[in-house]
Amino acid sequence: MRENEVWNTENPAISAEANPGWFARFIATQRCHRQLVVQPRMGFASPERMRRGLMAVHRSAATTVGTITVDSYTRVNNDRAAYEALVNARDLNGFPIVTHGPEITRQMLKGILQQNFPVQVRHGSALPFKIIQTLLHADLDATEGGPVSYCLPYSRVPLRRAINEWGASCRLLASERTKGKVNHLESFGGCMVGQLCPPGLLIALSILEGVFFRHHGLASISLSYAQQTNFQQDCEAIQALRLLANRYLSDLDWHVVIYTYMGVYPRTEEGATRLLRESVQLAIHTASERLIVKTSAEASRIPTITENVSALETAAAWAQKLSAQGDQEPSLADALVCNSEVYTEAQDLIETVLDLHLDPGEALALAFERGLLDVPFCLHPDNRNRARSFIDEHGWLRWAEPGSMRLPGFHNHSPISSITSQQLLEMLTYNEQRFDDPSNPLVSRTAQRNVRMGDTSIRKV
């Protein structure tokens, strides 16, 4: 079985306390117990506060893994700005792991990082080598990103440069297998620009990054998928993702991680809870192994530890309830999923890209150069940004314009040729409206939105 192949390393050099790759093993164990793992986003500048946050997550009434979210200065390799913010006690939106260094990080984790509480480092960096080097020296074993998913949405770094550095970073993570440590890397490809990307492309990008990770020696990976605007569409997409992972990545240890909606969040407590619960239902229904939750606070500021714990416990309680009800049967038989539009679209995109070159990194670079991959609304200079999406009358994400992508299922049924700021705002706030006020039909919601423009603020999406 795959897991044995990945972890069958008996190395006497590893002491009992050393981390052999706790993250991947923990997820596998919880999968055997059919227990959903929930995880927050969390990053504070001070090691003391970061430690308290991790402890609170571990002690919460939920099956959790911990998160260290790195700050934005460190993400863009501006260690000097991170250092200055630290010494001058200025606002920092995460843990500056490179500035603190491996020793302080290791001390911060002492007694917390363990077999039954692994920790993942989240960073969003297009050039992550130093961050990954630091986390490995701190005896951590799990991180996330990818050459495309952490370059195009979040940087101006040329794609080829990101591909090179991500290749080196993957090889660094993989190199520890010689001493018996299996490091884990999650692809952020299912979360491209956070929202409004039709699922076929999200799936293709996750799988392609997985292929890239394997090419550079990684043995344990996960594939992401962000909750979008329609539950049925998301279920079908995740099932397609799992089948395609079986097809293209069967020799790796892999699992699926779901992200609670990353866009404009409901304003009401009830709406936020409903949205969170739907993401839990999505995870349970598709037998996904891990869920990254969101708090309602994140719409306006960085959440407190208490808010994060509350979201984790809410998610865990709902998962418990759904599991007890036996809600773990997939909605569609595999054969139906294989014939679905989303599966076909994703597979076509994957095959088109892999055909371009034997080296998956080079294949990805060529694909974006030629517009064969094109992420809607992505402003990066190396993305064509001609592709467009829209939300149809049933709440499904559809292609309005495919750009140069080959999408056999595309039939030019879009009602809009170019988008207005009003239409964009409606798409961005679709879930907020849907969950804050589920009784109102969409038409009158749109009318209300026009009236409310006067007091609507530009919110974090």
Partner 1 sequence: MSHESVRGDHDASRYLGAKNLKRDSTFLLSSTPSDAHTWNLIFLQLLIEEHGYTVINLGACVPLAFLIQQCLFHKPDVLVISSVNGHGCDEGIRLIHTIRKIPELQDLTTLIGGKLGTQGINNRIYTEDLLTAGFDAVFHADSALPEFIKLLESAKTP
The only residue of 72, 183, 220, 308 in contact with partner 1, by rule CB under 8 A = 72
Q: What phi and psi values does residue 265 have, to the nearest 5 degrees?
A: -90, 150
* Token pair belonging to 335: 């054969």
Provide the greatest CA pair distance for the chain. Answer: 69
The only residue of 420, 439, 441, 443 in contact with partner 1, by rule CB under 8 A = 420
The only residue of 12, 87, 89, 91 in contact with partner 1, by rule CB under 8 A = 91
Count other Cβ atoms within 10 Å, centred on residue 379.
11
461 binds partner 1 (CB under 8 A): yes
Nearer to partner 1, 339 or 422 (CB): 422
93 binds partner 1 (CB under 8 A): yes
Please give the angle made by the CA atoms of 352, 356 and 362, to the nearest 5 degrees: 120
342 binds partner 1 (CB under 8 A): no
Report the C-alpha gap between 71 and 238 in whole angstroms.
30
Least Å distance between CB 90 and partner 1?
5
Least Å distance between CB 307 and partner 1?
12
Least Å distance between CB 293 and partner 1?
20
Strand arrangement, sheet containing 290-292: 37-39, 290-292, 253-259, 220-226, 184-187, 142-145, 119-122, 66-69
Torsion-angle region of residue 264: left (phi > 0), alpha (psi -120 to 50) or beta?
beta
Least Å distance between CB 165 and partner 1?
15
Which of the stretches 57-65, 108-116, 211-219, 452-460 binds partner 1 when contact is defined by CB under 8 A? 452-460
Each residue 166-205 as x (binds partner 1 by CB under 8 A) or -, in order, gives ---------------------------xx-----------
* Token pair belonging to 224: 């992401």
* Token pair belonging to 96: 């500056």
DSSP per-residue letters across 51-117:
HHHHHHHHHSSS-B-EEEEPPHHHHTT-HHHHHHHHHTT---SS--HHHHHHHHHHHHHTTTSBTTB
Give the footprint of partner 1 on residues 138-167 (CB under 8 A). Answer: 153-156
Cβ burial, residue 33 (10 Å; 0-12/13-18/19+): exposed
123 binds partner 1 (CB under 8 A): no
The only residue of 192, 276, 302, 400 in contact with partner 1, by rule CB under 8 A = 302
Nearer to partner 1, 189 or 360 (CB): 189
80 binds partner 1 (CB under 8 A): no
Instruction: Pick the closest to residue 170 from 211, 202, 223 (CA basis).
Output: 211
Q: How many residues bind partner 1 (CB under 8 A)?
A: 41
Least Å distance between CB 52 and partner 1?
17
Q: How far does CA 53 lie from the centroid of its chain?
A: 21
Each residue 344-383 as x (binds partner 1 by CB under 8 A) or -, in order, gives ---------------------------------xxxxx--
Instruction: Pick the closest to residue 373 from 364, 224, 381 (CA basis).
Output: 364
454 binds partner 1 (CB under 8 A): yes
Instruction: Pick the closest to residue 86 from 97, 154, 410 (CA basis).
Output: 97
The only residue of 250, 412, 417, 421 in contact with partner 1, by rule CB under 8 A = 421
Nearer to partner 1, 155 or 260 (CB): 155
Which of the stretches 75-83, 168-176, 229-237, 267-275 binds partner 1 when contact is defined by CB under 8 A? 75-83
Instruction: Pick the closest to residue 385 from 153, 160, 179, 180 (CA basis).
Output: 153
The full 3-state SS of 103-127, as one line of letters, equals HHHHHHHCCCCECCECEEEECCCCC
111 binds partner 1 (CB under 8 A): no
Nearer to partner 1, 314 or 383 (CB): 383
Nearer to partner 1, 22 or 188 (CB): 188
- The radius of gyration of the chain from alpha carbons, rounded to an integer in Å, stands at 21
Which of the stretches 86-94, 234-242, 269-277, 308-316 binds partner 1 when contact is defined by CB under 8 A? 86-94
Binding site for partner 1 (CB under 8 A): 72-73, 75-76, 78, 81, 85, 90-93, 124, 153-156, 193-194, 300-302, 377-381, 419-421, 424-425, 428, 453-461
